[in-house]
């Protein structure tokens, strides 16, 4: 679709999108065997809406009556958090710019709540008190989504109220001017080689702040969550610069995707465009990049963003999504999981799936999240694949409630109202304090933190209020807006400025409930059908509650007492072998020892799975294992391969790739200080350095600088060996500047190499993957056998010819 024709269509997309989803739900829901969730009465729903409103005001008044004009309320001390005054929390404080962030972030929620008087008062305060000319370094991403987004949305709604509610006639676009000024202050961050913005900028000095000299790295979400606000800013002010810069950043990011997997990493260098962290998921570091691709398409009607979103979406569903779980992989090796935990930011994903029309996986992931919540009371900041707590904090984040809201809007299933009710009551019970709502430091202890982020008011309570509101309760038709990642409202009409098409809600307009009535109660059965099989998802895989479910070898943890009991009951005995410290065990299974016939059979299955797993593990380990191979004389076909480990910071040798050369010992052997004494004898050779005194990667840089073609780091612990110790991959420091292969050898293996060096001065070695070395050897042997067989055939043919002569 061309952009003009598509724009008109896109303006209408979101409302109709939700209607289409409702229709799909009706068509698919004819299974009477699924029990619908208990419906919530209008009365209860209205009470919950009012409770959400009260929650908002409890927090809002605590902020306004105590620390305002501070950026944030500290709810335990009831004081304000000011940049440069309150003890620093490090990078986290880049959110703060001493610009009354909580108030700016909250303005449009006041309008949604219908509180025009307080909105008007708050707007006056913002115009009077907020200024940006401060020598403070702030996060470009956070300032954009909370401040620029907050000001823009408030400006749009202020003009709206002027027209529709006949109030605020004094308002002359001051907040738009403030947003424009702030936008200009963020622009210096976009002066990079790639056009991808720096992560931080000084509000007064731009990038001239000496502290920003070394600024290089940013996260994908940080750079890719600008366009909605900047496009709105350009279109409202008539100055194209913001939108131009934001599109350029999106284009540059798109070029950095992995061409094979279509996935993105999470951290990159804004100048070189190199990836610094190649983990790829949908949570922290990348979340709102995906959100802004899709919503830029909805808001601006540019098809390319939908195409890009779809490419990434397919990749995420192929590699990252695993049933209801979403687990990071490496963008360049997408079949390898790179983390064994999920973070709470990814809870926005089902909401985005709803908007993009993929309802079933949205229902599934939401169900998984709900179970995490039920298991730990509050969703922790991160949890492991077996649903144990990884990071215990709970920051009163909105994402889970946001997804609950979108799922309710799309399905009409009252289950989502019940989920929202539980989330609301839990916040009341565990987060409410005298002066606002406090984040929880650890969901296991319930201990509070002196922290209430501005998104609690701008998002968490806003989505709760929306969830329990009937469409006719709202003064605007939210379907005519896109919610930014900070839940600020931008009208779909933004592309046709001066010609506002959104309107106050008429009570009979787009009435979702009426629509639901045309499709009696069965409209909730589709999501129920998807949720039902997942209802025991966590209890089924959680090691703490094994009841009734067979423990699979994949889930088994030897340190878990329940698991040990379960395998014992299945008739499996575990015997330690070798040195106990190595933790090697052998498993024996006997039906005779099993608690029951059924458990005996489960034990047999468990053993078979274990065997498969062991095979897979050793294949993976083998793939990573490197070989340092040599022959003792040039003619010899007899090569010796010593095992070595790879590194995370150097190029991998894959397949038939290898490095070959003479080896030379570094002098001094630890190779930490520049220059190497024998630097002039290193070029073109493979350098050997001993572990210790400095990092692996700094030795690698020194070797590279001296012109070495590869580096072997040998262990400094006498007697260590890959035969008895697990091989590992050396870690770097996040930079990507080592271009030569680097491998690690334990002491015993290196001692063999050293002995060979003594026997043969100027020994040449070949570094390659161990599996490739084995393959190469096998091919060589096969070739030798063939040659020998061919020689034997020739010889026997010659003998046969001679034979008659002899006989004669």
Annotated binding residues for Ca(2+): 485
Give 320-326's long-range contacts (Cβ < 8 A, gap of 24+): 320/263, 320/280, 320/281, 320/282, 321/361, 321/365, 323/364, 323/368, 323/537, 324/361, 324/364, 324/365, 324/367, 324/368, 324/534, 324/537, 325/365, 325/368, 325/385, 326/281, 326/282, 326/283, 326/365
Active site residue 174: no
Q: Quickly list H helices, 167-240.
A: 174-186, 220-223, 227-237
Going residue by residue from 648 to 677, which x/- string records binding to ligand DMJ, judged by CB under 6 A? ------------------------------
At closest approach, how far in Å is the CB of 418 from ligand DMJ?
23
Q: Is 595 helix (H, G, I), strand (E, B) or coil?
A: coil
Nearer to ligand DMJ, 459 or 715 (CB): 459
What distance in Å separates the CA atoms of residue 307 and residue 297, rounded to the nearest whole number? 9
Considering the complex, state which of residue 329 and residue 396 has its C-beta at the smaller distance from ligand DMJ: 396
Q: Which of 105, 142, 291, 690 is catalytic?
A: 142
Which of 209, 287, 413, 715 is catalytic? The answer is 287
Three-state DSSP at 575 gives strand
Nearer to ligand DMJ, 483 or 744 (CB): 483
Binding part of the chain for ligand DMJ, among 157-165, 391-399, 659-667, 725-733 by CB under 6 A, reads 391-399
Three-state DSSP class for residue 372: helix
485 binds ligand DMJ (CB under 6 A): yes
The answer to whether residue 398 forms part of the interface with ligand DMJ (CB under 6 A) is yes
The token pair that represents 166 in the structure block: 């006949």
Could you tell me which stretch among 267-275, 394-402, 507-515, 756-764 binds ligand DMJ (CB under 6 A)? Answer: 394-402
β-pairing verdict for 710-714 and 742-745: parallel
How many other β-carbons are positioned within 10 Å of the β-carbon of residue 56? 24
Report the site for ligand DMJ in 704-743 (rule: CB under 6 A).
none
Instruction: Please pick, among 243, 399, 402, 413, the residue that the annotation labels catalytic.
Output: 399
- Residue 70 or 708 having the CB closest to ligand DMJ: 70
User: 388: helix, coil or strand?
Assistant: coil
Smallest separation, CB 142 to ligand DMJ (Å):
7
C-alpha count within 13 angstroms, C-beta hemisphere, residue 55 = 30
For residues 232 to 271, the per-residue mask of contacts with ligand DMJ, x marking binding by CB under 6 A and - elsewhere, is ----------------------------------------
Instruction: Look at strands 686-690 and 710-714 and give their pairing.
Output: parallel
Selected catalytic residue, list 72, 279, 381, 690: 381
Applying CB under 6 A, the site for ligand DMJ has a residue count of 9
Q: Is 381 tagged catalytic?
A: yes
Active site residue 399: yes
Question: Which range touches ligand DMJ (CB under 6 A), out of 78-86, 300-308, 377-385, 397-405?
Answer: 397-405
Name which position in 288, 296, 411, 720 contacts ligand DMJ (CB under 6 A): 288
Q: Which residues are annotated as a binding site?
A: 485
Residue 76 tokens, joined: 């335990």
Q: What angle do CA 199, 201, 207 make, to 5 degrees?
A: 115
Which residues lie below 8 Å from residue 624, measured CB to CB, with a gap of 6+? 645, 646, 727, 729
CA 746-747-750 angle, 5° bins:
90
| Stretch of 7-15, 55-63, 396-404, 723-731 contacting ligand DMJ, by CB under 6 A | 396-404
Token pair 């004898």 in the structure block, residue: 681
Range 314-373, binding ligand DMJ (CB under 6 A): 345
**Smallest distance, ligand DMJ to C-beta of residue 89, A:** 16
Nearer to ligand DMJ, 231 or 671 (CB): 231
Output the CA torsion sign for 592, 597, 600, 605: positive
DSSP 763-790: -EEEEEEHHHHHHHHHHHHHHHHHHHHH
Q: Angle at Cα 85 formed by Cα 82 and Cα 88, nearest 5°?
A: 85
Closest to ligand DMJ by CB, 225 or 269:
225
- Active-site residue, 442 included: no
Q: Contact, 189 vs 140, CB < 8 A?
A: yes
Q: Which is nearer to ligand DMJ, 367 or 486 (CB)?
A: 486
Distance CA 632, CA 618 (A): 30
Question: Least distance in Å: CB of 333 to ligand DMJ?
Answer: 27
* 227 vs 745, beta carbon nearer ligand DMJ: 227
Cβ-based neighbours of 618, under 8 Å, separated by 6 or more:
none
DSSP string, 437-487: E--EEETTTTEE-S-B-THIIIIIHHHHHHHH--GGGSSB-GGGEEE-TT-
Q: Which of 486, 599, 690, 772 binds ligand DMJ (CB under 6 A)?
A: 486
Between residues 145 and 765, which has the closer beta carbon with respect to ligand DMJ? 145
> CB of 766 within 8 A of CB of 741?
no
Contact with ligand DMJ (CB under 6 A): which of 405, 455, 465, 744?
A: 455
Distance CA 542, CA 550 (A): 11
Which residues make up the interface to ligand DMJ (CB under 6 A)?
A: 288, 345, 397-399, 455, 459, 485-486
Which amino acids are annotated catalytic?
142, 287, 381, 399
């Amino acid at each position: 679709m061309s952009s003009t024709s598509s724009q008109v269509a896109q303006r209408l997309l979101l409302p109709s999108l939700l209607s289409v989803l409702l229709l799909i739900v009706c068509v698919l829901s004819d299974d009477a065997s699924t029990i619908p969730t208990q419906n919530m009465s209008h009365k209860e729903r209205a009470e919950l809406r009012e409770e959400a409103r009260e929650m908002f005001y409890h927090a809002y008044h605590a902020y306004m009556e105590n620390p305002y004009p501070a950026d944030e309320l500290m709810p335990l001390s009831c004081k304000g958090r000011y940049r440069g005054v309150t003890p620093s929390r490090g990078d986290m404080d880049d959110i703060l710019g001493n610009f009354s962030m909580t108030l700016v972030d909250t303005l449009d929620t006041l309008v949604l709540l219908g509180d025009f008087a307080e909105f008007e008062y708050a707007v006056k305060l913002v115009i009077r008190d907020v200024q940006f000319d401060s020598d403070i370094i702030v996060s470009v991403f956070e300032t954009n989504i909370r401040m620029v987004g907050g000001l823009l949305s408030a400006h749009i709604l202020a003009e709206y109220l002027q027209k529709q509610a006949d109030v605020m006639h004094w308002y002359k676009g001051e907040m738009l001017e403030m947003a424009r000024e702030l936008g200009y202050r963020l622009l210096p961050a976009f002066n990079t080689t790639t056009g991808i913005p720096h992560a931080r900028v000084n509000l007064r000095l731009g990038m001239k702040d000496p502290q920003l000299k070394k600024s290089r790295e940013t996260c994908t979400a940080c750079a890719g969550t600008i366009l909605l606000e900047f496009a709105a800013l350009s279109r409202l002010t008539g100055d194209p610069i913001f939108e131009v810069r934001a599109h350029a950043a999106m284009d540059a990011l798109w070029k950095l995707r992995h061409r094979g997997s279509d996935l993105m990493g999470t951290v990159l260098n804004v100048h070189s465009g190199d990836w610094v962290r190649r983990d790829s998921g949908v949570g922290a570091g990348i979340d709102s990049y995906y959100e802004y691709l899709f919503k830029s398409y909805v808001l601006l009607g540019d098809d390319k963003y939908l195409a890009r979103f779809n490419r990434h979406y397919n990749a995420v569903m192929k590699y990252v999504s695993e049933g209801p779980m979403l687990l990071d992989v490496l963008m360049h090796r997408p079949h390898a999981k790179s983390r064994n935990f999920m973070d709470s930011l990814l809870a926005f994903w089902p909401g985005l799936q709803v908007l993009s029309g993929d309802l079933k996986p949205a229902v599934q992931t939401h169900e998984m999240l709900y179970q995490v919540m039920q298991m730990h009371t509050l969703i922790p900041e991160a949890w492991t694949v077996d649903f144990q707590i990884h990071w215990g904090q709970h920051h009163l984040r909105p994402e889970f409630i946001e997804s609950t809201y979108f799922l309710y809007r799309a399905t009409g299933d009252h289950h989502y109202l019940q989920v929202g009710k539980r989330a609301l009551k839990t916040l009341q019970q565990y987060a409410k304090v005298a002066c606002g709502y406090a984040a929880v430091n650890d969901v296991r202890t319930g201990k509070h933190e002196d922290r209430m982020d501005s998104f609690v008011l701008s998002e968490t309570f806003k989505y709760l209020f929306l969830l329990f509101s009937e469409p006719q309760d709202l003064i605007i038709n939210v379907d005519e807006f896109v919610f930014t990642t900070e839940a600020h409202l931008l009208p779909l009409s933004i592309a046709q400025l001066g010609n506002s098409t959104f309107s106050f809600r008429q009570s009979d307009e787009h009435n979702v409930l009426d629509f639901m009535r045309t499709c009696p109660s069965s409209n909730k059965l589709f999501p129920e059908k998807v949720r039902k099989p997942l209802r025991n998802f966590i209890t089924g895989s959680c090691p703490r509650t094994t009841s009734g479910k067979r423990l699979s070898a994949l889930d088994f943890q030897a340190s878990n007492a329940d698991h040990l009991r379960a395998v014992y009951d299945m008739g499996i005995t575990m015997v330690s072998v070798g040195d106990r410290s190595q933790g090697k065990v052998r498993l024996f299974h006997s039906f005779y020892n099993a608690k029951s016939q059924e458990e005996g059979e489960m034990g047999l299955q468990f053993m078979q799975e274990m065997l498969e797993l062991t095979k897979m593990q050793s294949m993976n380990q083998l793939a990573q294992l490197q070989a340092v191979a040599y022959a003792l004389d040039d003619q010899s076909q007899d090569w010796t391969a010593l095992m070595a480990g790879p590194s995370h910071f150097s190029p991998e040798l894959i397949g038939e790739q290898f490095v070959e050369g003479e080896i030379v010992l570094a002098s001094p052997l630890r190779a930490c200080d520049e220059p190497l004494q024998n630097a002039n004898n290193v070029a073109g050779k493979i350098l050997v350095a001993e572990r210790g005194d400095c990092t692996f990667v700094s030795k690698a840089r020194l070797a590279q600088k001296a012109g070495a073609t590869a580096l072997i780091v040998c262990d400094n612990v006498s007697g260590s060996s890959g035969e008895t110790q697990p091989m590992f991959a050396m870690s770097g420091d996040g930079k990507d500047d080592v271009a030569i292969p680097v491998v690690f050898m334990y002491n015993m293996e290196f001692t063999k190499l050293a002995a060979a060096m003594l026997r043969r001065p100027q020994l040449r070695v070949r570094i390659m993957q161990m599996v490739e070395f084995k393959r190469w050897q096998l091919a060589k042997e096969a070739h030798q056998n063939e040659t020998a067989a061919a020689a034997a055939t020739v010889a026997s043919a010659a003998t046969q010819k001679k034979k008659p002569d002899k006989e004669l």
